[in-house]
Structure 1
């Protein structure tokens, strides 16, 4: 299985949510759907640019490898190991969002507080576990390198968007 597309999709979805999180709490208006969409698109655009870093890192690994086919297989194994913890995390976030959307007001608020709140806090730990998964899956140091660059990229989206657009009140 080639993990590139699922990893890219998860990274881009995470970037959109990071843009939203950077904006959340900065606007007291009731009707703010356009601002929320704008924030998510800002996160997505920043994430798209930052996620070029792991793609270029993987490309450099393949370019300088003595045996590109073997290096590709190693990176694919590492990517699969990187994807496993992220998939579990994405499933937990998806279930929490589904609970928020489907449950009545009080229960959906509880789902947000008990689900999405702690899940946002453990994102860096999940990225670290994913890097360890890339190494444990047989990806070697090259997969660890690409995974660490990818992890740093997704974790930098929210702070960048916050500082660029939302650090000071509008």
Structure 2
């Protein structure tokens, strides 16, 4: 199994949440479902474009390799090593989101404060762990390069969306 599809899907979901985070707190209206959806779609669009960089890098590596089969195997091993720390991180985020949506108001607020807040701050460390996992799982330097480019891409979504659409507070 190739880890490419789960990694791309995880990156796109993260990009949508990044778009939402870029917008969150910028609008004092009570009903802002459309604005939240629009912010998520903006993040998704920016993330899709930025994730073309690591995808293109991996594709270029496969097309220029002397032994494409070996290059594919090392990229796949690196991808699995990259996916493991992100799966642990995504599980923690999903549990915090479930607590936020399913628990009563006070408990859901607590879940937000002790779960989602710190987890957002830990995103760069989770991505650094994923890059290290890519290298340690036998992915080699090409997988590390693809992983670093993917990490930079997903970390750039929120500032890019903020700078483009949400610089001013309404």
SS in 2 for 1:167: coil
Equivalent positions of 1:49-60 (< 5 A) are: 49-60=49-60
Q: Partners in 1 of 2:50 and 2:146 — Cα distance?
A: 13
User: What runs of 5+ residues in structure 1 fail to find an aligned partner?
Assistant: none
In the alignment, what sits opposite 1:131?
A: 131
Q: 1:144: which partner in 2?
A: 144
Contiguous gaps of at least 5 residues in structure 2 = none
| TM superposition shift of 1:60 | 1.0
1:84 Cα deviation after fit: 0.2
1:90 aligns with 2:90: yes
Q: Secondary structure at the match of 1:66?
A: coil
Distance in 2 separating the partners of 1:169 and 1:13: 25
Residue 78 (structure 2) aligns with: 78
TM-score using structure 2 length:
0.99
Rounded to whole Å, the distance in 1 between the matches of 2:114 and 2:153 is 27
Please give the alpha-carbon distance, in whole angstroms, between the structure 2 residues aligned to 1:67 and 1:149: 23
Q: Deviation at 1:65? A: 0.8
Name the counterpart of 1:116: 116
Partner of 2:158: helix, strand, or coil?
helix
What is the total number of aligned residue pairs between the two structures?
170
Q: Distance in 1 between matches of 2:128 and 2:60?
A: 22
* In 1: Cα distance, 2:57 partner to 2:73 partner: 15
Q: Determine the structure 1 residue equivalent to 2:4.
A: 4
How far is the alpha carbon of 1:64 from its aligned partner?
1.4
**Deviation (angstroms), 1:62:** 0.8
Shift of 1:169: 2.4
Q: Provide the TM-score with structure 1 as the length reference.
A: 0.99
Tell me by how many angstroms 1:147 deviates.
Answer: 0.3
Over aligned residue pairs, what C-alpha RMSD do you find?
Answer: 0.6
Distance (whole Å) between structure 1 residues aligned to residue 134 and residue 109 of structure 2: 35
